[in-house]
Every structure is written in C-alpha cells, then in structure tokens.
A and B are shown apart, each in its own frame.
Chain A
Amino acid sequence: MLEVSGLKAGYGQIEVLHGIDFHVNQGECVALIGANGAGKSTALKTVCGLVKPRGGTVRFQGRDITGASGHEIVRAGITMCPEGRQVFPEMTVLQNLKLGAYTRRDAEQADDLDDMMQMFPILRKRARQAAGTLSGGEQEMLAIARALMARPKVCIFDEPSLGLAPKIVAEVAETIARIKARGMTILLVEQNSLMALKLADRAYLFEVGKVVLEGTGEALQQNPDVARAYLGD
C-alpha cells in the first residue's frame, strides 16, 4: 500500500536519511525503531510532505506521491498524529477534532465525531475546553482522535508515548491496538521499542539513516542484538 524506496532527506547541509526502503501493506501495523537521531521521524515527515525528499520515491496505492505538499498527501489518505501531540492550544477540543476532518466533504463527520467521543470519553467531557488546558495524556488522545477524524487509509503515529507517564503509555498502546483491531493500516515510530514491537506485525530497525534490520515484531524482539541495544535487557 505504501512503498518507500531509496528515500534520501535532510536538513540544510546535513543528510539524515541515506536511502531507506520500507513498505506497509494494507491492514498492517509497521513499526520503525531505532535510537534517537536514527532518522525515523525524518522518514515520517518526508512521507507526509513536511520535509522535501532529496532522492528516492514514495508510492501510495500505486501512485507516486514523492515530494507532494503536505495537504495533498492528507487528501491522498495519509494522516499523521505528530510527535509532541501538537494540538491547537487555543481552540476547543471540539474545534480540534473538526479540523481533523478538514479535508472531508461527506455527511458522516458528525457520526465520526460521536464515534471518537465514544472511544475517548474524556474528550466528550472536555469538548468545550481549550485544548491547551488538557493534560499530556488527554492531549495525546485528542491528537489520535483528531488524526482518525480524517478517515485516513494509513495512520502514522510519531512517538505517541514521548513524555507521558508509564500508566498513560500503557493506555496509548492499548488505544493503538484498538485502532489496529478496527482494521486501520498503521505506521508507528516509537522510542519505546518494546511497546512498538509488541504492537507491530513487522518492524524496521534504523541506524544512522539506514535500515539495518527488518522482520516481524516478534522476530525482532527475539533478536539478541536488538534486545541488547534497544529493549534494555
């Protein structure tokens, strides 16, 4: 469904991605793991059009979307739930959710809104509150719900557990599992490699801008090198 091949990208003089390949199949949950600065987030941002690629291709449902602008990629069906939540702080929870559906013109937005409130009851409680006043965990839920409001074909999560309390991290993991269970195609970047590998069908290990290992979530969990370096054994 999503195929990335030979992707190169960077900031200014520095190249961060040195030609990476990965793909995500329909209905799959794929995780990108690796150390801080390995290029996972840059890869996501490049796919989403926030960073311009310097080489390689991104294909989505057979279409070449390399270098398309951010809003075109959203329209194509790829939505990202960004690192650090990035909710709109001065707007209400409701307004944030509606913005998630910005590209949609269909009549079912109200139903989806209700669906999200069902899935995240805290959002119904806080519907009229400014998003900036929510706790970190609540903001993460809002960011996830906002991403889902776009009815994406692929939903990308960038570091959803970053900066959250352990109890909330578990909640986030459980939420992603629920979304996966609904049949959503998911691409996940996560520093918490154990959590990522548990959720993922398949995973890619990034090291300094290159993919060094690929396998099922389970296989990578059992790989001794991965276990030593990333799972804290």
Chain B
Amino acid sequence: MLELVQQITNGVAIGSVYVLIALGLTTVFGILGIAHFAHGSVSMFGGYLVYVLVASQGVSLWLAIPVALIVGMGVGGLIEFLAYRPVRNANHINAFIIALGLTMMVEGINLQLFGADQVVIPTGFDRVFEIAGVTIPETRLYVILAATVLVIAMTAFVEGTKTGQAIRAVAQNRDAAILMGVNVRSIPLIVFAMSTMLGVAAGVMVGSLFAIAPGVGEAMVVKGFAVLILGGLGSIPGAIIGGLVLGVTEALAAGFLSSAYKDVIAFVVMIVVLLFRPQGLLGGAK
C-alpha cells in the first residue's frame, strides 16, 4: 500500500510536467488547429536559459525563472507572428510542415547556444519531506505546487477575464467571436505567449528534476500529444487530467511491471482509452 501511494506520488510530479506541456499544446491546437511540434524544444530553450543564468551568470534562481518566463512569452509571440501567421489561411499541411521545420530549427539553435552536454539546473533543493512513510523530495514538491499554481492561474485567466473568454470563444467559433468584437489577430499572439510561458515553466521543471539534453524536448512533445489525445484535443480539463493519468500510469507501469516497457504501457493505456472514448477522456462529442 505504501509502495502504491509512493508510486502515485512519484507519478504526480512527472504528470505535473506533462500537464503544463499539454496545456500549451492544447490551447494552441484548440484555437488554431496547429500541431505545434516545436513546443517541446522551445520549452527546453527556457530550461537552458535558466541553467545558463543560474550556473554561469550567477543569477538567483528566483530571478532567473521569471526572466525565462517573460522571454518565453516573447518567443512564443514571435513564433506565432513569424512562423504560423503567414500560413494562417493556407492549407493545413503548410502549418504542419512549418511546425516540423521549426522543431529542427529550435533544436539546432539550442545545440548551437547551449551545446550537446546534458545540463541539470542547480537548485540547491535537497531536503526531503516525509508524510507517513511517503517521501517527497523538495524539488518535486515545488514542481507539484508550481504546476498547481500555474493551472489555477491559467484557469482564472481563461474563465475570469475578457481576454480569456475571447480565447475560448475563438476556439469554439471564430466568426462569431469576430462578431463579438474580438480582434482575432491578437488572440493567437496571446495564446502563443501563454502556452510558451507554461512550456518554459515545464522546461525549468525538467531541468531541475532531471536534465535537459538534445532530444529531451522532442520526447516531451510526443508525451504532450499523447496527453492531448488521451484527454481530448483542445480540452483544458482534458490536458490536466490526461497529464496526471499519463504520469501516474508510467510510474505504476515502471514500478509494478517493467521499466523497460514504461513508454509502451503509457501508449497502450492511451489506445485502450481511445477504443472506448474516441474523443478522449474529456473531449466533447463533435
């Protein structure tokens, strides 16, 4: 029993990272119908940035993270404006190809700027908390807390502000949103800025919990899309639940079956869910 609770706790921390990655992907997909493959690599760019600021510039972690989040918003906006906006009204395959090309570009930029070595963000968090035999390392606790705060903040933004409501409106009916007076050209900018900021937060978490290296971002984005399909394309609650389900499933699979099949089992669960709910766990039946 203790083992099970511990495995679930392990999984929730990883799942929190998946949630943040998937939230970015799902809002972008919901509003623009774009499979933004470069998301993982851009997120890792943010993680690298924090690493460089902290490890080689001696900047405090508490300053480096906000800086990276703000840079992330800017980068997200730029990606929308320079890469995706020009193909907004073109065939979908164009955005698809742009997304693939952008992934290679950002991976290449990361490699040029930050090198091929793996980096671990030095946090100095090495306390371990214990509750009734279940241990939670400090970093993992902060990851879970930060992800919770970000999810709440994003939900508050989407549900409680006019801009947030406009984002939902554009996702559901673009023309009707225009008739409400929503400037549908600024919405994608905002969505990309927000998504990339969440991605950067996830990148920092990956870099603190584990390590950032070439290929990590691409692996992340694959997991992110698995979460999207699991939770329902474009669904925000779906991304949250899907991310946690994937994280916990992986932990349980590695702990009780075999770590060798960790990734496979996660995808098997995804396929099984889709057999019974083709629209995903929380996807609307359209």
Contacts and interface: CB of A to CB of B under 8 A. Distances in A.
Given A50-B178, A71-B178, A90 B172 contact: yes
How big is chain B's contact interface, by range? Answer: 10 to 19
Interface in A41-85: 48-50, 69-71, 74-75, 79-80, 82
Contacts of B162: 98, 102
Contacts of B178: 48-50, 69-71, 74
Contact of B176 (A49, A69, A82, A150): A82
Interface of A: 48-50, 69-71, 74-75, 79-80, 82, 86-91, 95, 98-100, 102-103, 146-147, 150
Nearest to A48: B179
B173 A99 contact: no
Nearest to A156: B179
Contacts of A91: 165, 168-169, 172
Nearest to A150: B181
A147 B15 CA distance: 42
Given A71-B184, A95-B165, A88 B176 contact: yes
Contacts of A69: 178, 183, 185
A99 B184 CA distance: 14
Contact of A82 (B175, B182, B284): B175
B176 A86 contact: yes
Given A86-B176, A88-B176, A102-B162, A71 B183 contact: yes
B180 interface: yes
B165 A90 contact: no
B166 interface: yes
B179 A88 contact: no
Contacts of A150: 180-181
Nearest to B166: A102
Instruction: Give the top 7 A-B pairs by smallest Cβ distance, nearest first.
Output: A74-B181, A70-B178, A103-B181, A86-B176, A88-B172, A71-B183, A102-B180
